[in-house]
């Protein structure tokens, strides 16, 4: 993981994840999501695979607010939490 000042993204070609400083749980979830792009199952939809990887590998308990945040992220791809099942 490489820290930067502006964006979260996965560099699949070099197996690196770039993230701003992680200040809270949402930042942690997004950073883990980007890591999921590299570490997760790449079969099927990349976004779903990355979020599935988050749910499987997070070391912090997720509450309803966290699931709502993930749902909001999925909505940008016209998906819902049901798509993760």
pLDDT at 12 over 90: no
Domain boundary assignment for the chain: 22-84
The predicted-structure confidence for 22-81, as pLDDT tens digits, reads as follows 899 999 999 999 999 999 766 678 899 999 999 999 999 999 999 999 999 999 999 999
Q: How far is CA 49 from CA 6, 10, 21, 68, 77, in A?
A: 24, 13, 24, 18, 13
Q: What's the pTM?
A: 0.85
């Amino acid at each position: 993981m490489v820290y930067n000042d502006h964006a979260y993204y996965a560099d699949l070609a070099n197996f690196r994840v770039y993230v701003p400083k992680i200040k809270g749980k949402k930042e942690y979830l997004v950073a883990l999501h980007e890591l999921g792009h590299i570490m997760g199952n790449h079969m099927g939809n990349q976004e779903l695979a990355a979020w599935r990887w988050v749910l499987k590998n997070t070391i912090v308990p997720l509450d309803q607010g966290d699931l709502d945040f993930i749902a909001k992220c999925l909505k940008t791809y016209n998906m819902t939490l049901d798509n993760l099942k």
